[in-house]
Structure 1
Amino acid sequence: MIQEKIKELEKTINSDYSNISGILIQKNGIKLYENYFNGYTAINAVHVFSVTKSVFSALIGIAIDKGFIKSADQKVLDFFPDYTVKAGEMIIQGITLKNLLTMTAPYKYKSEPYEEFFASDNWVNAALDLLGGEKHTGEFMYSPIIGTHILSGILVRATGQPVLDFASENLFSPLGIKVTRNVVLHNKEEHIAVMNDKNTSGWVVDPQGINTSSWGLFLTPSDMAKIGQLYLNGGIWENKQIISEKWIEESTKEHIRLDRLSYGYLWWIFDDKEPVYAALGDGGNVIYVNTKKKMVISIASLFMPDAKDRIGLIMEHIEPIFED
């Protein structure tokens, strides 16, 4: 019976979600299903876009756990004492890490000037220059690329280590995730080319060699599932506390409400009581965690504009097959 349902699922994937490259489904830490599409295999990493944000949230939590950062309430400018605030822009002084983590920092634009940002010679400073404006701190303003990159600068300043070194030592290596190199992109054409390049792996860096925090990480479905399982396990991996349970609880609870969704610390919240939460990336990349059903589902996808919502696929077609 379950095999028939899986066949139907795969038919749905091929017809309606044709850019999926891999799916991995776990319940109670046991792998129930794994499959690959579009010529991809278990070893091919995919550019997971904004799933990078949720991974970076974990790194900020680890840095707080280890005392490199005092708390999420610490002021952003504490980490940039050399940054000069322009006259009349005092609102910047009150912005905290929590504002960056919950997308409640204000910016001087309605839509991100990302082309100018990428063209600048210092992305962290360019992002700091765009903080402020007319909106109030505390209002939700999603920053797909620019604002979150300030967290990269903060992590480097706080730990004194390159982001990838800190991540490898404290998160990736303990979980058996291999992100082995920095990816340097020189122009727009290279940005576009790596999106669906089966042979690219690693983590994109800015002109200073700082790994990006809002996009640019390449992971396999197995890598993503490991991060989801770590969160489901309360931060424990092979009897070792990798991230504090307190940070995971804070990250995956509602901090700001948006219609039918909520936002935590760079995680999307679908049900605050269960809870059900996910890391979501452009094109349909997902780490989905259902704590009540003890399920972790990772979906890797190739980039395509306006990709069909994966949460609908998970809740309507995947969970009913594997939840029993």
Structure 2
Amino acid sequence: MNQEKIKELDKIINKDYSNITGLVIQKNGTKVYENYFNEYTVDNPIHIYSVTKSIVSTLIGIAIDEGDIKSVDQRVLDFFPYYTVNAGKKTIQEITIKNLLTMTAPYKYKTEPYEKFFASQNPIQDALDLLGGDGSIGEFNYSAVGGTHLLSGILAKATGRSILDFATEKLFSPLGINVPSNIVLRNKEEHFAVMSDKNTSGWAVDPKGLNTAGWGLFLTPVEMAKIGQLYLNNGVWNDKQIVSAEWMSESTREHSCCVQWGNLAYGYLWWLIDENSYAAMGDGGNIIYVNTKNQMVISIASLFIPEAKDRIEFIKGYIEPMFEI
């Protein structure tokens, strides 16, 4: 890409996407653009919000590959045998891992109680208490925090290890991703403080020490791009199969559809953009975008702002056309 186009791209980011901290673009496995903004550098991780979900999906796939989890059709309560189901919550007995991965589990609320979850001293217990209800299994019902967090509980039960330890050995270390430690957040003030601290690195844990599944992971844009490249490579990294090609394919095909957000198709905690592209997306405009036809991976790290401008529109309308040749 010539210097004039680079200047133009930088200008658009500074003008219209001013909360971006870093952007990495790769084509055919080669980095073709990398730049940082808002006083961030290549070494500064950022909280990737719901992009965390897609990485947890990857870890579920690895656990299935390793035989720790039998299949996505295992029932959630198989992993929590101590949980007592009352007479009014029989639906919960039929909910599977696949329902959590595809956002097709019902819950006992109309609006997810974020404050209850973040203030909880036992989020897994509260998530189980909210699972089920009168809704139908199979209908898309996005759970930003509670329901998704059950996947962390399942991973920990299935592997007998902490999520961070499992992820470090099976995914992060092979890819050269550095997530050094758990992040303990003792109150609301600490929670908000780390979100804009460019020196924070690690993965948040709940009060029970369980890494969060719906949010809480800090990565650099280069590390985000590595996850995207792993998917583009069908699970292979440096000639080693990190995740099975079957999981790569299955997790990025349509299993459900979010009608309320423009009929956007959904895989296993991955958003499907069109027949050639899919993305992990998080608040503020954080994104790992993969286009299999154009052999492109784009990672965008961003500081949180309400109603951030659409990154897919930015990628499809501007970034991708710059690399058509």
- Whether these two folds match at TM > 0.5 is yes
Residue 65 of structure 2 is aligned to residue 62 of structure 1: no
Say whether 1:280 aligns with 2:281.
Answer: yes
Which residue of the partner structure matches residue 264 of structure 1?
267
Cα offset, 1:156, TM superposition: 0.3
Does the 8 Å CA contact 1:2/1:321 hold for their aligned counterparts? no
| Superposed counterparts of 1:124-139, under 5 Å | 124-139=124-139
Q: How many Å separate the matches in 2 of 1:5 and 1:155?
A: 44
Map 1:153-302 to 2 at 5 A: 153-258=153-258, 259-271=262-274, 273-274=275-276, 276-302=277-303
- Cα separation, 2, equivalents of 1:6 and 1:119: 44
- Distance in 1 between residues matched to 2:240 and 2:86, nearest whole Å: 46
| Cα distance, 1:88 vs structure 2 | 1.9
In structure 2, distance between residues paired with 1:257 and 1:235? 25
Q: Which amino acid in the other structure matches residue 314 of structure 1?
A: I
Residue 304 of structure 1 aligns with an amino acid whose one-letter code is: I
Q: 1:145 is matched by which residue type in structure 2? A: V
- For structure 2, the 5+ residue unaligned runs are none
Amino acid in structure 1 at the alignment position of 2:285: G
Cα displacement string for residues 170-206 of structure 1 (whole angstroms, at most 9, x for unaligned residues): 0000000000100011111111111111111000001
Deviation at 1:7, TM superposition (A): 1.4
TM-superposed CA distance for 1:257, in Å, is: 2.3
What is the CA–CA distance in structure 1 between the aligned matches of 2:110 and 2:130, rounded to whole Å? 11
**Amino acid in the other structure paired with 1:264:** G
Contact 2:181 2:202 in 1 (8 A): yes
TM-score (norm 2): 0.98
Return the letter of the residue paired with 1:242: I
Partner letter of residue 292 of structure 1? K
Q: Judge which range, 82-91 or 40-49, deviates more.
A: 82-91
Gaps of 5+ in 1: none
Give 1:279's aligned amino acid.
A
| 1:41 is the counterpart of 2:41 | yes
C-alpha distance after superposition, 1:235-278 (max 9, x if no partner): 0000000000000101000111234410000000011x32x000
Q: Distance in 1 between matches of 2:6 and 2:315?
A: 13
Q: Which residue of 1 aligns with 2:319?
A: 318
Please give the root-mean-square deviation of Cα atoms over the aligned residues, in Å: 0.9
The percentage of aligned residue pairs carrying the same residue is 69
1:61-102 per-position Cα deviation (integer Å, ceiling 9, x unaligned): 000000000001110000011111112211000000000000
Report the residue type matching 2:292 in the other structure.
T
Preserved contact between residue 99 and residue 105 of structure 1 (Cα < 8 Å): yes
Q: How far, CA to CA, are the matches of 2:263 and 2:85 in structure 1?
A: 37
Q: CA deviation at 1:36?
A: 0.2
Structure 2: distance between partners of 1:32 and 1:117:
41
Task: Provide TM-score, normalisation by structure 1.
Answer: 0.98
The answer to whether the 8 A contact 1:51-1:287 is kept is yes
Instruction: Give the Cα separation in 1 of the matches to 2:213 and 2:263.
Output: 26
**Is 1:162–1:210's contact at 8 Å kept on the other side of the alignment?**
yes
Preserved contact between residue 253 and residue 263 of structure 1 (Cα < 8 Å): yes
Please give the per-residue CA displacement for 1:195-225, whole angstroms capped at 9, x wherever unaligned.
1111110000011110001000000001000
Q: Secondary structure at the match of 2:171?
A: helix
Distance in 1 separating the partners of 2:113 and 2:263? 28
Letter in 1 for 2:319: I
Q: Residues 275-305 of structure 1, C-alpha deviation per residue, up to 9 Å, x if partnerless?
A: x000001001000000000000000001111
Retained in 1: the 8 A contact 2:235–2:245?
yes
